[in-house]
Amino acid sequence: MKNIVILISGRGSNMEAIVRACAAEKWPARVAAVLSNRPDASGLQFASRHGIATGVVDHKQFSGRESFDAAMRDAIDAYQPDLIVLAGFMRILTPGFVEHYAGRMLNIHPSLLPSFPGLHTHKQALEAGVKLHGATVHFVTPELDHGPIVLQAALDVLPGDTPESLADRLLDSEHVIYPRAVRWFVEDRLHVQDGVVQVVQPAEPQWFMAISPQAAGKQP
Ligand code: GRF
């Protein structure tokens, strides 16, 4: 039975999807704790209601990144985690923190990496005029929004899309791919070689397409 610790900063809808899938699909894992850097993160309430331990390490109480990361690391390690899941955790992590969890920390980023790392990804995608946008689950490495790619979801950009409409549609796909990727991890099915991740026993597609009905009828 693997221990998962999930870090959130806000509403925690991806965390919720993972908690629900873990229970419904009877993964060989349990969500041991949900921790936040913000006391008002609404996702903490969902976790408490589901009997999951919660904790807050408020970044505002620390003078710098190093001391915050050290306190967060202590809070996480109290649960003896096999996997750390960043789910809307809005903090830049120090290299020491990332190294401590090397190979056992996942993140979801709302773009088709390596395009559009950083913030405001949906706005960036619209301004670049891309026709496909998406989300990426990846292992966390010291470089922000990089790291071996586990699974990607793509969706078509529609005429009239705004950053908000893209974010809304993409969230449904995030809730499909993030639980899937975490499940592969806890089932020991992710092999990483030279920065490339493969799913084994059995191999499975590492992408998910959420194409709108309008576009589906017009494929060349
Ligand atoms: C998601 O869009 C995720 O990709 C990004 O932050 C958002 C978090 O949403 N990293 P939620 O807190 O999981 O609802």
Give me the number of domains the chain comprises: 2
Say which CATH number the domain at 56 has: 3.40.50.170
Letter for the amino acid at 135? A
- For the chain, strand residue ranges (E) read 2-8, 29-36, 53-56, 83-86, 105-109, 132-139, 149-156, 190-193, 196-199, 207-210
For a pocket test of ligand 1, which of 133, 171, 182 has the largest count of ligand atoms closer than 8 A to its C-beta?
171
Clarify whether residues 160 and 118 are in a common domain.
yes
Q: Classify residue 219 by burial, with Cβ atoms within 10 Å: 0-12, 13-18, 19+.
A: exposed
Segment 30-39, tens digit of pLDDT: 999 999 999 9
Clarify whether residues 17 and 37 are in a common domain.
yes
Which pair of tokens denotes residue 2? 């693997």
Q: How far is the CA of 66 from the centre of ligand 1 (A)?
A: 24
- Domain of 137? 109-212
Clarify whether residues 128 and 97 are in a common domain.
no
Cα gap 125→193, rounded to integer Å: 30
Cα gap 150→139, rounded to integer Å: 7
Segment 56-66, tens digit of pLDDT: 999 999 999 99
93 annotated ligand-binding residue: yes
3 annotated ligand-binding residue: no
pLDDT number for residue 207: 97
Mean pLDDT for the stretch of residues 193-220: 87
For a pocket test of ligand 1, which of 6, 7, 13, 14 has the largest count of ligand atoms closer than 8 A to its C-beta?
14
Secondary element (H or E) of residue 135? strand 132-139
Atom of ligand 1 nearest to the CA of 43: 12
DSSP code for 84: E
Q: What is the pTM of this model?
A: 0.96
101, 122, 157 — which closes off a domain?
101
Segment 75-89, tens digit of pLDDT: 999 999 999 999 999
Clarify whether residues 23 and 115 are in a common domain.
no
Residue 212 pLDDT more than 90?
no
Residues involved in catalysis: 109
Strands 149-156 and 207-210, how do they pair? Answer: parallel
- Coil/strand/helix, residue 117: coil
pLDDT band at 211 (very low <50, low <70, confident <90, very high): confident
Within 6 A (CB) of ligand 1 lie 8, 10-14, 87-88, 108-110, 135, 171, 174
Letter for the amino acid at 24? A
Q: Flag whether 220 is in a domain.
A: no
